[in-house]
Amino acid sequence: MGRKKITVVGAGHVGEHVAWFCAMKELGDVVLIDIIEGMPQGKALDMSQAVTLEGWDSRVVGTNDYADTADSDVVVITAGLPRKPGMSREDLLDANAKIVKAVSEQVAKYSPNATIITVTNPLDAMTYLCQKVTGFPYNRVFGQAGNLDSARFRCFIAMELNCSVEDVQAMVLGGHGDSMVPLRTCTNVSGIPVTQLIPDDRLEAIIQRTRVGGGEIVKLLKTGSAYYAPALASVEMVEAVLLDKKRIMPCSAYCQGEYGISDIYVGVPVLVGEGGVEKIVEVQLTDDELAALQKSANAVKETVETMKKLGY
């Protein structure tokens, strides 16, 4: 059998933390790959020495060569550019589509049986592109977004109620961006509906803070974006696949009629196990929630159409 093999593409802040958390949880051996020579090797060596201190049996190697990633069980794609001041969304779309297309070709070549989890923004469009380029079955290519957005929502609810985050369950659907849809009806604290615990106006403020959760961190950091939570949200998905945990979590998955959405990747509740997205879970939404989810999916479709016009 041997240990599972996890490749993390991109050794920036998100990628290095994905590699680190995978090693820490002993999910398998980790390959960290980047185009910058020396950087993934240096970070991997540092991690190897750190896991030695804790006695974790995960090997971490850094490389610039996709041959070293061959036969990976799971590949997490974090490579891409962050949006810089003065950059339009279309500029970012073009730059990252170029990167994700090149990465996807290499992954398909060296790890044809891998499950791919994308993290690069704009997330839903990049997941769509990755599946198109690899030609992998839809269930083996999905994106990390809702899991992160839901964690932010849970975090803010726990702060508001001064209660344990362990007791907060929440679900955020839709595209990863301003149009995301935090679900009041699927949010509870130890089974108690959140609407019984937090007044409407405060809950609305928390929902709005969740929507701009990434932007709030960017404004505070000034020279970068979030990486601890995005990385750990991705690792939860890696863990669900490698340990066949059958977790129900919101991920960017390919819809084929579910929620009245077709032929697009968007954040929906899914069952994640060794088959990747084993099932899209259809929950009963209010009319407002369903309309917001469909509007969010249409925004993703527009981004994909722009990407196609750019030649991807």
Burial of 38 (0-12, 13-18, 19+ CB in 10 A): exposed
Active site amino acids: 176
Using alpha carbons, select from 13, 254, 32 the residue that is nearest to residue 130. Answer: 254
What is the H or E stretch that residue 280 is in?
strand 276-280
**C-beta separation of 57 from 36 below 8 A:** no
Using alpha carbons, select from 25, 205, 182, 9 the residue that is nearest to residue 107. Answer: 9
Structure tokens at 194: 């959140």
| CA atoms of 285 and 241, how far apart (whole Å) | 27
**C-beta separation of 115 from 140 below 8 A:** yes
| CA atoms of 31 and 133, how far apart (whole Å) | 22
| CA atoms of 291 and 298, how far apart (whole Å) | 11
**C-beta separation of 141 from 88 below 8 A:** no
